[in-house]
């Protein structure tokens, strides 16, 4: 924790951090881009999960729905990485010495693994989750996916309320 | 005008509004639900907008995609609006005095008008073009306008947080 505090102090003293801190429109703009990208990633994942539950685009094979919605997640995650990193550089203490931030990152790791697994399974073996025996497995996966993504969004909002004074 | 002021005062002075103001975890919790719902509203409507513009889901007929996506969008919108209402009444007077809040409400209404105009007028001959990869110009304009309006709604939402006076 002490090392992180020291690193945060060093980061906050860099000229890039200084610019982000002092130009007032930069942080809200970065946060707006960040949330819009979260909206894209979250909705894409949830729509595929809803398709697994057969409540969205039932007339379209799961494979086609997955092909439309899951691959675009990855480039958008890159934008999230960039905007998220810039937000950390601007206010290092807000996240780097904040447990909620690490919870968000841990959940994100789980979400990435889940989504990548789902995408690979559905695209390489079409019809997976369609037969009755695998249906439950698919629904369990979809439920966990929705919960984990919601957890990421909740944690993201709570970072603002749990930062060290 | 005084009727509206009375109504706002009634909500702002209610015990629910008081709990949201005073409780340390209630406001952030409702705010988190609001963020999840808004993300689903914006993300799901973007699916339809990108189809109208001719960028994505091009193999899906517009009518079918609309019927699949709008229940998700409206369900999420109901949650976003009710959670937003709860956040609003916790400090109604201060929110109303905030230009970004007012702009956000006007932008949401404009997005609604854009949708009504599209469904009532521009999409009357939908069956004739709904399978085209690139829909007619009026549909592409409605899609592009919707994308811009929702980006502005999210931006205003974020700016409210930076311009509200200390509570």
Q: What's the 3-state SS for chain B?
A: CHHHHHHHHHHHCCHHHHHHHHCCCHHHHHHHHHHHHHHHHHHHHHHHHHHHHCCCCCCCCHHHHHHHHHHHHHHHHHHHHHHHHHHHHHCHHHHHCCHHHHHHHHHHHHHHHHHHHHHHHHCCCHHHHCCCCCCCHHHHHHHHHHHHHHHHHHHHHHHHHHHCCCC
Write out chain B residues lying below 8 Å of A157, CB-based.
Answer: 28, 31-32, 35
- ipTM for the whole predicted complex goes beyond 0.90: yes
Residue A134 has a pLDDT of 83
Q: Cβ of B154 and A36 within 8 Å?
A: yes
Write down the mean pLDDT value for chain B. 94
- Give the residue numbers in A contacting B (CB under 8 Å), as ranges: 24, 27-29, 31-32, 35-36, 38-40, 42-44, 46-47, 50, 56-57, 59-60, 68, 150, 153-154, 156-158, 160-161
Write out chain B residues lying below 8 Å of A29, CB-based.
Answer: 155
**Rounded Cα–Cα distance for residues B155 and A35 (Å):** 9
Write out chain A residues lying below 8 Å of B158, CB-based.
Answer: 28, 31-32, 35
For an interface test with B, the pick among A24, A36, A41 (most B C-beta atoms closer than 10 Å) comes out as A36
Is the pLDDT at A164 greater than 80? The verdict is no
- Nearest 5°: CA angle at B108, between A84 and A154? 35
Minimal Cα–Cα distance from B100 to chain A, Å?
A: 12
Write out chain B residues lying below 8 Å of A24, CB-based.
Answer: 162
Question: Which of A2-16, B44-58, B105-119, B153-167 is least confident?
Answer: B153-167
Minimal Cα–Cα distance from A127 to chain B, Å?
A: 20
Q: Cβ of A27 and B162 within 8 Å?
A: yes
Residue A165 has a pLDDT of 63
Q: Cβ of B158 and A32 within 8 Å?
A: yes
Residue A65 has a pLDDT of 95
Tell me the pLDDT band of B167, cut-offs 50, 70 and 90.
low
Write out chain A residues lying below 8 Å of B38, CB-based.
Answer: 39
Q: pLDDT of B47-86, one tens digit each?
A: 999 999 999 999 999 999 999 999 999 999 999 999 999 9
Mean pLDDT of A104-111: 98
Tell me the pLDDT band of A69, cut-offs 50, 70 and 90.
very high
Is the pLDDT at B40 greater than 70? The verdict is yes
Minimal Cα–Cα distance from A146 to chain B, Å?
A: 11
Tell me the pLDDT band of A135, cut-offs 50, 70 and 90.
confident
Tell me the pLDDT band of B164, cut-offs 50, 70 and 90.
confident
Residue A128 has a pLDDT of 79
């Amino acid at each position: 924790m002490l090392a992180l505090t020291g690193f945060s102090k060093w980061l906050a003293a860099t000229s890039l951090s200084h610019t982000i801190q002092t130009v007032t429109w930069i942080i809200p703009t970065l946060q707006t881009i960040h949330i819009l990208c979260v909206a894209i990633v979250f909705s894409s994942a949830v729509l595929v999960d809803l398709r697994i539950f057969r409540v969205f685009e039932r007339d379209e094979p799961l494979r086609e729905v997955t092909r439309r919605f899951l691959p675009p997640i990855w480039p958008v995650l890159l934008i999230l990485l960039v905007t998220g990193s810039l937000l950390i550089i601007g206010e290092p203490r807000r996240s780097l010495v904040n447990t909620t931030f690490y919870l968000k990152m841990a959940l994100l790791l789980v979400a990435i693994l889940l989504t990548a697994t789902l995408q690979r399974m559905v695209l390489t073996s079409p019809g997976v989750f369609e037969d009755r025996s695998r249906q439950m497995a698919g629904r369990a996966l979809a439920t966990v996916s929705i919960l984990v993504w919601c957890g990421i969004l909740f944690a993201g909002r709570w970072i603002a309320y749990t930062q060290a004074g | 005008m005084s009727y509206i002021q009375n109504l706002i005062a009634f909500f702002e002075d209610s015990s629910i509004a008081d709990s949201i103001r005073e409780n340390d975890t209630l406001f952030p919790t409702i705010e988190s639900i609001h963020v999840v719902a808004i993300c689903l509203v914006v993300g799901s409507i973007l699916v339809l907008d990108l189809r109208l513009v001719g960028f994505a889901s091009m193999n899906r007929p517009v009518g079918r995609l609309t019927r699949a996506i709008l229940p998700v969008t409206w369900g999420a919108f109901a949650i976003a609006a009710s959670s937003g209402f709860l956040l609003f009444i916790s400090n109604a007077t201060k929110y109303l005095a905030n230009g970004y809040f007012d702009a956000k409400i006007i932008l949401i209404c404009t997005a609604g008008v854009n949708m009504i105009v599209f469904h009532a007028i521009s999409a009357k001959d939908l069956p004739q073009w709904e399978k085209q990869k690139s829909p007619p110009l009026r549909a592409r304009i409605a899609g592009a306008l919707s994308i811009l309006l929702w980006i502005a709604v999210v931006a205003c939402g974020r700016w409210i947080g930076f311009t509200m006076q200390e509570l």
